[in-house]
Amino acid sequence: MSFMWPEMLLTLVLVPVALMLYLWLLGRRKKQAVRYSGLGLVREAMGRGPGWRRHVPPALLLLALTLLLIATARPSMRLVLPSQQRMVVLAMDVSISMRATDVEPTRMAAAQAAAREFIEAQPASTRIGLVSFAGSAALVQPPTFSKDDLLAAIDRFTFQRGTAVGSGILISLQTIFPDLDIDMRTVDPLTGLRDSRQGMPLGSEARDAKPAPPPPSEPGSFKSAAIILLTDGQTTTGPDPLAAARLAADRGVRVFTVGVGTDKGEILVGEGWSVRVRLDEDSLRNIAKITGGEYYYAGTAGELKKVYQELGSRLTLERRETEVSAIFAGLGAVLMLVAAGLSLLWFHRVV
């Protein structure tokens, strides 16, 4: 637990002061009682005294005072609460390597099935967008609340050549921030997104330079949207995926990467060509690390479904620092009411 106004904790010295005052009043009452002669006759006439009950209301009041004083320091705790997530962009690999059958029935079929379950499990308040990428990337379904539209878009996936993981990240990022101007024709596929010498898009002249982008955010600080990137292969074309990840990190957007396939991979054979398709886990781990997301490995269809289930719960519930002053203040108020109620019930007076 931490406190936003820790200096207010100094007011807790009032608690022992109040306790000493109560003990002093008890002692004073006893001194007044011994002044009576024939004290035994008085006790006999009054019947049995209140005993331990007389101390319950003051004890509750003392505890209520403690809680109220702690509330003034504005305590905060890390709690599991409903996520503030309002948009999820699914970026799915549709390259030819997704035909591989090392994940049954195929990598693509397993990915589509897991994505369907993920979409169905999302709350109605979450918009979901769908990006597909192979040699290039495209927004195949703008963010929507309609699960039927999303499922229909997944069913329309077709295989394409190439794997441009960086393009998938950039189009997903542009889906979240429509004002983000990314000219895919001027992206350097080897070194990054911008000319490191001039700080402007590659291929642009100084006279065409646009206003500077906003200052970078803390990676993972943007809680209103996230990207889930699913792929099974290495980048073969397009922008550097790590440079794209850095751009997402500058916007505070987390990228959760999912690697589907097996360690050995599989040899795919086409018309006059053959290639072994392997999973580039190092790249996916680095993308997740740069953006504050997480990497998940799925070697089977069952594991892939579990990954999406975990991602679903991760995006609908999250642990975050939350001020809990109201809880302490509320408990303090309740204890005060209970103390007053017990005093009225037992002694016909308010404490």
Residue 256, strand partner residues: 228
From the number of C-beta atoms within 10 Å of its C-beta (0-12, 13-18, 19+), residue 150 rates as buried
CA distance 140 to 158: 12
From the number of C-beta atoms within 10 Å of its C-beta (0-12, 13-18, 19+), residue 106 rates as middle
Domain, as residue range, for 187: 83-201+211-299
Question: Does residue 246 share a domain with residue 143?
Answer: yes
The count of domains in the chain is 2
Give the residue from 263, 283, 299 where a domain finishes. 299
Question: Does residue 224 share a domain with residue 183?
Answer: yes
- DSSP H helical ranges for 107-240: 107-121, 147-155, 165-176
Question: Does residue 99 share a domain with residue 235?
Answer: yes
Do 177 and 214 meet the contact criterion of CB atoms below 8 Å apart?
Answer: no
Q: Does the bond joining 105 to the residue before it have cis omega, within 30 degrees of 0?
A: yes
Question: Does residue 236 share a domain with residue 99?
Answer: yes
Q: What pLDDT is attached to residue 147? A: 93
314 assigned to some structural domain = no
Q: What pLDDT is attached to residue 271? A: 52
Q: What pLDDT is attached to residue 44? A: 52
Do 241 and 165 meet the contact criterion of CB atoms below 8 Å apart?
Answer: yes
Consecutive 10-residue runs of the chain (351 residues): their mean pLDDT? 88 89 77 57 52 82 91 83 71 88 86 90 87 94 94 93 92 90 55 43 46 74 89 86 93 92 62 62 93 88 82 65 87 90 79 61
Q: What pLDDT is attached to residue 274? A: 54
Question: Does residue 70 share a domain with residue 168?
Answer: no
123 assigned to some structural domain = yes
What CATH number is associated with residue 93?
3.40.50.410
Q: What pLDDT is attached to residue 206? A: 41
Nearest-10 Cα torsion for 200, 205, 210, 211:
60
Report the number of secondary-structure helices (H) and strands (E) in the chain: 10, 11
13 assigned to some structural domain = yes
310 assigned to some structural domain = no
309 assigned to some structural domain = no
Question: Does residue 265 share a domain with residue 129?
Answer: yes
332 assigned to some structural domain = yes
315 assigned to some structural domain = no
Q: What pLDDT is attached to residue 139? A: 95
Q: What pLDDT is attached to residue 80? A: 59
Do 339 and 61 meet the contact criterion of CB atoms below 8 Å apart?
Answer: yes
Q: What pLDDT is attached to residue 58? A: 86
Q: What pLDDT is attached to residue 213? A: 60
Question: Does residue 112 share a domain with residue 74?
Answer: no
Q: What pLDDT is attached to residue 171? A: 95
Question: Does residue 196 share a domain with residue 60?
Answer: no
Question: Does residue 215 share a domain with residue 67?
Answer: no
Question: Does residue 117 share a domain with residue 21?
Answer: no
25 assigned to some structural domain = yes
Do 256 and 294 meet the contact criterion of CB atoms below 8 Å apart?
Answer: yes
Question: Does residue 159 share a domain with residue 113?
Answer: yes
Question: Does residue 129 share a domain with residue 258?
Answer: yes
Pairing of β 266-269 and β 274-277: antiparallel
